[in-house]
């Protein structure tokens, strides 16, 4: 059997977890079938990075396995200046990527593809969010100094993003929202991109209805302003007025201490429980207990967790924050509300909690959407088709997809 061809996958550090790790693992597992994949990402570990505090003026490269994936971590230089994350270490990237024939980029934003754009390589880009959309809500929580640096960086980062999008051989946005935004930024027509969401294994779907349980779940990094934890607490405060036995389980990084203190009355009486970070099995256990999921974000490129909820028979109520609009059809398998419309989200939550028949309809309709648009076969087929469009010689390699 001939040796597999080498595929470089560019992303962010796997320890970012969340959607970044999930999408990276999907790409790595797909590529492992046909290629010898290696993951590349910029690193900020002080041991390998040049940064002001330690007066270290050179960066290093680290080779390590993360979550079973072979990785190359290229240390950054002067990380405070984001436009230089890849440009300052251009020679390192050029050296480490030498010998790779094929390139696949997946991340939250497209910025991880910057080395390939500078090297004028062909690459497939599967990504979820425009740079500015990812940063807008986060900027509000930055210190004055950090916000000042961010404002100086932003024009350069927008220019880099446009270059990356225009240089990509094929773009596969994770949602219609992302596709439209990438088109606005780059001028590339909507029709020239293939929207492809995150794959859900339909054989693991649990369509049981938890009629006796009144548990809502919210999963994410709730110390991130983009997740809008204030709306989450405000919504649940209204829900428990009318459904006093209802509980909200918050899974993942806890909201900021200032918020937890403000809503201590909900936490003290167990109307809201923060369980912190959990492993995959624990996450499934919580999803299997839940009656509904709340997504209160200002912005989501896709919102993978909403798809996972639907696969566990959990209807989703989400803000109109981007990606979730692709899979939550208002009134058919969940509800859509405007960002910060606490009253509307609370009413929708009460409707599901108090109506098992409605919950059952939403569960069944949600499964149909997952099976037709978000199955592993659909995603892998999209990957294979786009790889062949870039490199026709791969037709014999990935033709089995």
Domain 202-373 grouped into CATH 3.30.2350.10:
no
Query: Do 10 and 93 touch, CB atoms closer than 8 A?
Result: no
Give me 214's structure tokens.
């009144």
Please identify which residue in the block is written with the tokens 């994350």.
85
pLDDT at residue number 201: 79
The full DSSP string for 223-256 is: TSGGG-HHHHHHHHHHHHHH-TT-EEEEESSPPP
Q: Report the alpha-carbon distance of residue 282 to residue 295 in Å, rounded.
A: 19
Residue 53 burial class via C-beta count within 10 angstroms: exposed 0-12, middle 13-18, buried 19 and up: exposed
Q: Exposure pattern of 359-380 as b/e (b: 16+ CB <10 Å)?
A: bbbbbebbbebbeebbbbebbb
Compute the half-sphere exposure of residue 317: CA atoms within 13 Å on the CB side of its CA: 31
Compute the half-sphere exposure of residue 326: CA atoms within 13 Å on the CB side of its CA: 26
pLDDT at residue number 55: 60
Rg (CA), the chain: 22
- E strand spans, 233-313: 247-251, 272-276, 292-295
Q: Residue 252 contacts by C-beta under 8 Å, 6 or more apart in sequence? A: 219, 220, 221, 222, 276, 277, 278
Domain-wise residue ranges, the chain: 5-199+375-396, 202-373
Q: 5-199+375-396 has which fold?
A: Rossmann fold (3.40.50)
Do 5-199+375-396 and 202-373 fold alike per CATH? yes
Q: Report the alpha-carbon distance of residue 303 to residue 25 in Å, rounded.
A: 16
Sequential pLDDT tens for the chain (401 residues): 678 999 999 999 998 767 889 999 999 999 999 999 999 999 998 889 887 665 666 789 999 999 999 999 999 988 889 999 999 999 999 999 999 999 999 998 999 999 999 999 999 999 999 999 888 767 777 778 888 888 899 999 999 999 999 999 999 999 999 999 999 999 999 889 999 999 997 766 666 655 567 999 999 999 989 999 999 999 999 999 999 999 999 999 999 999 999 999 999 999 999 999 999 899 999 999 999 999 999 999 999 999 999 999 999 999 999 999 999 999 999 999 999 999 999 999 999 999 999 999 999 999 999 988 999 999 999 999 999 999 999 998 887 66
Give me 74's structure tokens.
């290229």
pLDDT at residue number 394: 94
């Amino acid at each position: 059997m001939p040796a597999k061809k080498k595929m470089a996958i560019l992303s962010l550090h796997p320890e970012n977890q969340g959607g970044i790790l999930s999408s990276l693992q999907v790409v790595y597992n797909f590529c492992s079938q046909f290629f010898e994949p290696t993951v590349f990402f910029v690193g900020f570990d002080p041991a390998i990075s040049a940064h002001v505090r330690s007066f270290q003026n050179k960066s290093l490269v680290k080779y390590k396995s993360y979550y079973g994936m072979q990785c190359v971590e290229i240390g950054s230089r002067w990380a405070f200046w984001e436009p230089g994350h890849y440009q300052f270490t251009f020679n390192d990237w050029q050296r480490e990527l030498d010998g790779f024939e094929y390139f696949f980029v997946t991340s939250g934003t497209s910025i991880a593809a910057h080395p390939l754009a500078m090297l004028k390589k062909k690459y497939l880009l599967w990504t979820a969010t425009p740079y500015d959309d990812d940063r807008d809500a986060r900027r509000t929580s930055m210190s004055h100094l950090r916000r000042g640096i961010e404002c100086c960086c932003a024009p350069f980062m927008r220019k880099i993003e446009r270059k990356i999008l225009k240089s990509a051989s094929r773009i596969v946005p994770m949602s219609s929202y992302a596709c439209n935004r990438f088109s606005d930024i780059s001028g590339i027509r909507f029709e020239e991109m293939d929207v492809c969401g995150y794959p859900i294994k339909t054989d693991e779907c649990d369509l049981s209805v938890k009629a006796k349980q009144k548990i809502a779940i919210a999963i994410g990094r709730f110390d991130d302003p983009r997740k809008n934890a204030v709306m989450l607490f405000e919504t649940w405060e209204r829900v428990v007025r009318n459904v006093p036995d209802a509980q909200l389980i918050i899974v993942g990084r806890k909201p900021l201490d200032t918020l937890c203190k403000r809503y201590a009355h909900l936490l003290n009486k167990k109307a809201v429980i923060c369980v912190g970070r959990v492993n995959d099995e624990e996450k499934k256990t919580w999803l299997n207990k839940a009656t509904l999921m709340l997504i209160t974000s200002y912005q989501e490129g896709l919102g993978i967790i909403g798809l996972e909820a639907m696969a566990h028979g959990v209807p989703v109520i989400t803000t109109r924050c981007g990606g979730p609009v692709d899979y939550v059809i208002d009134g058919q398998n969940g509800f859509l509300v405007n960002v910060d419309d606490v009253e509307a989200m609370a009413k929708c939550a009460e409707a599901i909690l108090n109506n098992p028949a409605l919950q059952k309809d939403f569960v069944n309709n949600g499964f149909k959407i997952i099976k037709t648009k978000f199955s592993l076969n659909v995603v892998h087929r999209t990957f294979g088709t786009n790889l062949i469009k870039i490199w026709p010689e791969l037709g014999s390699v990935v033709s089995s997809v």
